[in-house]
Amino acid sequence: MAVLVGKKAPLFEADAVVNGGEFVEKFSLEQYLGRKYVIFFFYPLDFTFVCPTELIAFQDKLSEFEARNCAVVGCSVDSKFAHWAWLNTERRQGGIKGVTFPIVSDIAKTIAQNFDVLAGEYVFNTEDEEIDFDGEAVAYRGLFLIDKQGVVRHQVVNDIPLGRSVDEALRMVEALQCYEDNGEVCPANWHPGDETIQESHDSISSYLAKK
């Protein structure tokens, strides 16, 4: 699996559903360049079990991401019509009604391929002389924190059964912004208000001595 940290996030244009039900053509993360940080995350499929818990959890924290000038964008291999239907289904019926951040349709699976989170690969079957798919034709639970220059600064990829921590995604946004604002690095389990470390041997030694 590719490590994209430190590299430009792959570019794409695709259909998306925004504001809970509006179709957008040629949606792209380029609209955020120079303006916003982005949490771009993949999930396997609409109308499943773990996925709605994640999207609703991101929605519940959306105002906190927005307060930190960070957009949240989801993506799966479902069609834009499946996204629309899911967004307009009540939560008690397995839907995600009330989710307002953009959800991208990667029906061609090229976005998941470019971010290297597709749970399988296309292979050439020499016997039938056809292209087959080996694995599950959905995305793993990949998450990428992209800075305002379009560079990936953090990534995490979970297997399909394992839901993510939205609080951890928010913490990473805060840690990146703390580093950018102060030039000091964030130690293990850092949260806003905790002590940071200057990037020198003496300051790191001093920090560790307090622990």
Give me the domain span that covers residue 197. Answer: 165-211
pLDDT means over runs of 10, the chain (211 residues): 94 98 98 98 97 98 98 98 98 97 97 95 75 85 98 98 97 97 94 88 54 59
Instruction: Return the C-alpha torsion angle 35, 59, 2, 189, nearest 10.
Output: 90
Judge if 160 and 204 occupy the same domain.
no
Give the pLDDT score at 128.
75
- 110: tokens are 């090229």
What pLDDT shows up at residue 116? 96
Task: Please check whether residue 8 lies inside any domain of the structure.
Answer: no
Which DSSP state fits 68?
T
Which strand (E) or helix (H) includes residue 6? none
CA 206 from centre of chain: 35
pLDDT at 208: 55
Active site residues: 51
46 assigned to some structural domain: yes
The pTM (predicted TM-score) of the whole model is: 0.91
How far, CA to CA in Å, does 59 sit from each of 15, 23, 72, 82, 199?
A: 20, 19, 9, 19, 35
Same domain, 113 and 177: no
pLDDT score of 136:
86
Indicate whether 134 and 55 sit together in one domain.
yes
Pairing status of strand 103-105 against strand 14-18: antiparallel
pLDDT on residue 26: 98
- DSSP H or E run through 211: none
Residues 206 and 172 in one domain: yes
Tokens matching residue 208 = 């560790």
Question: Are 37 and 69 members of one domain?
Answer: yes
